[in-house]
Structures are given as C-alpha cells and as structure tokens.
Amino acid sequence: MPGFKLDTATAQRFNVNLSILFTELPLLERPAAAAAAGFTAVELWWPWVDSPTPERSELDALKKAIEDAGVQLTGLNFYAGQLPGPDRGALSIPGAESERFRANIDVAADFAASLGCKALNALYGNRVEGVDPAAQDALALENLVLAARAADRIGAVLLIEALNRPESPLYPLVSAPAAVGVVDKVNEATGLGNARFLMDLYHLSMNGEDLPSVIEEYAAKTGHVQIADNPGRGAPGTGSLPLEDLLDQLQKAGYDGWVGLEYKPGDRPSAEAFDWLPR
C-alpha cells in the first residue's frame, strides 16, 4: 500500500526499477511514487528509447523529479534501443545503432554523475543476420572499453548482463559464464577493473542455470543484482524461485550491494506489488 514504511535495512537493500514498475504513471511521477511506497533508491533503463541524446530540458526534468522525491539513483542503463521490446542492446550492432550507443555514452555518464549514480549497465546487442559474430564481438569490446572509461571518469562501475534465451533468442550473452567472460575481457583491455557482472536471477533461472552455483562462483565479480520470480517475472512469491534463500546466499558470499526489483506488478497497481517486503 502507498505510504507504508519499509524497515531501514530493507530500504537500504532494495531499489525499485522505474522502467518496469510504476509504468502506469508518467515517468516524472514515478520517483515520488517509489518514495511513497517506502523506497529510498531507484534504477532506470534508458528512458528515451528513441533518443540517445535527449534535450537538456528532458534530462533536467527527470533529474529534478528524482531529487524532489528524495530518492537516490543507483543504476542507469546506457541507450539500448526499445526496452521492453525485440531490441536488446545496441553496442554490438554495426552502423546506426552502434553510433547511437557511442553518442549516448557521455550523456548517460554525465546524467548519472549529476545524481551520484555509481552503476551503468550496457546491454550487449542482438546478433545480426549476415554479420560475422566475431565482428560484432570486436565492435562490442571496442564500445565497452569506451563505456568503461566513461564509467571510471565518474567513479562508477560498468555492468554487463546476461539475458535469457527464450525471451531474447538473438542475444549472445545468455549464461553467467558468457557475461562474466566479457567482463574479464573488458577489464583486461582497459586495466581499470571496473567492469562487473549484473546478476539477474530471473534471466539466469530462465536459462536453466544452477543459481546457487552461479552465486558461489561469481558473487565476487558481481556489481549489481536484479530479481523477479519465475515463471511470470512477477514479484517474489508469485513463482517458484527461492529468492529469499538465494539473496541470503549472496550476502553470505560477500555481496552487499543493491538488489533491484525488476519485476512486473501483475494486474494491480505497482504500489500494491511490494506486500512481500517487511514493513
């Protein structure tokens, strides 16, 4: 229910993704709605799906909405095309999409810096018919190096995420090892060490991965965690994933960062989709 208060430990652990929750509201109203639901932190996909370089007035309006709501921006995606939708990232797609990603790098980094955001997520990009996958991978590494340097400039980490094959069949990073392998390549190429794995437990479960083993092996390389239940991508408790146990394992493995709530509210207002959290 709107207006309830989360306990302090919960509010300092979970942040809400405003690109999948509270979407029944205009973008500029969502930060205040998250605050009213008890959250102190939010994250976002790149909000302007058609523009990697929106007008300054649009950036300023979103910044003001976040500041006025009194919430912290803890994660932001670089431009990634249409999300949600068939497009999944842009940085490995030759031509216009890759150029749009490059144009967005400093815009996104500067916006994140203006709000103290320390995590930038770069979605890899679908495979393109008729293009050599090796050429796409080389382009991806080149662009990820640029993104890692921009993140380093503002004291942030660069996140690299695995998605799931059933929903994103053309996306090449559909396992934890594949995503972590790219993390390692970026860190080797830059020498900065600021590329990290975004561990999305929903996507990994959709790929049929052994989640306790993934946590055991990759918690030390994880820079952010996102959750949704499976099946359905709903709130914890709507599916069969033992999310409470998995998050406890993550904490015991040394992960002490934010956990992003990146799930669908179902057929109810988003403000009613948090009844699983302690109040």
The catalytic residue positions are 161, 262
Of 130, 263, 253, the C-alpha closest to 203 is: 263
DSSP 192: -
Closest CA relative to residue 234, chosen from 257, 209, 268: 268
For residue 255, which amino acid is it? Y
Q: How far apart are CA 154 and CA 150, in angstroms?
A: 7
CB atoms within 10 A of CB 55: 10
Q: Which amino acid, one-letter code, is at 271? A: A
Pairing mode of beta strands 14-17, 157-161: unpaired
Question: Among residues 101, 106, 117, which one has the least CA distance to residue 223?
Answer: 117
Burial of 230 (0-12, 13-18, 19+ CB in 10 A): buried
For residue 75, the SS3 value is: strand
Tokens 């190429």 -> residue: 189
Calpha distance 258→112 (Å, rounded) = 16
Task: Please classify residue 99 by burial: count the beta carbons closer than 10 Å to its beta carbon, then call 0-12 exposed, 13-18 middle and 19+ buried.
Answer: middle
Both tokens of 249, joined, read: 């394992």
